[in-house]
A = this chain, B = another copy of it.
Amino acid sequence: MARPSLRISLLDAGLKVMSRKGYVGSGVREIAAEAAAPQGSFTNHFRSKEAFAREVLDRYFEHVKAMMARTLGDKSRSPRERLRAYLDLITTRLGADKFTRGCLIGDFSLEAALQSVVLRDRLAAIFAEWQVPFADCIAEAQAAGELDATFAATDLAEFLLASWEGAILRMKVARNAEPLERFKRIAFATIFKEPR
Tell me whether A170 is interfacial, beta carbon within 8 Å: yes
How far, in Å, is A161 (CB) from chain B's closest CB?
8
A107–B109 touching, CB < 8 Å: no
B24, B102, B124, B182: the one contacting A158 at CB < 8 Å is: B182
Q: A25-B22, A163-B163, A173-B123 are in contact. Are A186 and B191 (CB under 8 A)?
A: yes
Number of this chain's copies in the complex: 2
B24, B156, B166: the one contacting A166 at CB < 8 Å is: B166
Contacts of A20 in B (CB 8 A): 114
Tell me whether A52 is interfacial, beta carbon within 8 Å: no
How far, in Å, is A32 (CB) from chain B's closest CB?
18
Size class of the A contact interface (CB-based, 8 Å): 35 or more
CA distance A144 to B125 in the complex (A): 44
Contacts of A39 in B (CB 8 A): none
Chain A, 105-119, CB within 8 A of any chain B CB: 106-107, 109-111, 113-115
A170–B111 touching, CB < 8 Å: no
Q: A156-B186, A162-B179, A182-B159 are in contact. Are A170 and B127 (CB under 8 A)?
A: yes
B127–A114 touching, CB < 8 Å: no
Chain A interface SS verdict (over half)? helix
Q: A22-B24, A166-B165 are in contact. Are A186 and B155 (CB under 8 A)?
A: yes
Contacts of A163 in B (CB 8 A): 162-163, 166-167, 183
CA distance A163 to B190 in the complex (A): 14
Tell me whether A76 is interfacial, beta carbon within 8 Å: no
Q: A166-B163, A166-B166 are in contact. Are A22 and B111 (CB under 8 A)?
A: yes
Q: A22-B22, A24-B25 are in contact. Are A109 and B173 (CB under 8 A)?
A: yes
The 7 closest A-B pairs by CB, nearest first: A166-B166, A24-B25, A163-B163, A162-B170, A165-B166, A162-B166, A190-B191
Could you write out 23 A-B pairs with CB less than 8 Å apart?
Answer: A20-B114, A21-B114, A22-B22, A22-B111, A24-B24, A102-B110, A106-B169, A109-B173, A113-B173, A123-B173, A124-B174, A151-B186, A155-B185, A158-B179, A161-B170, A162-B166, A162-B182, A163-B163, A163-B183, A165-B170, A166-B166, A186-B191, A190-B190
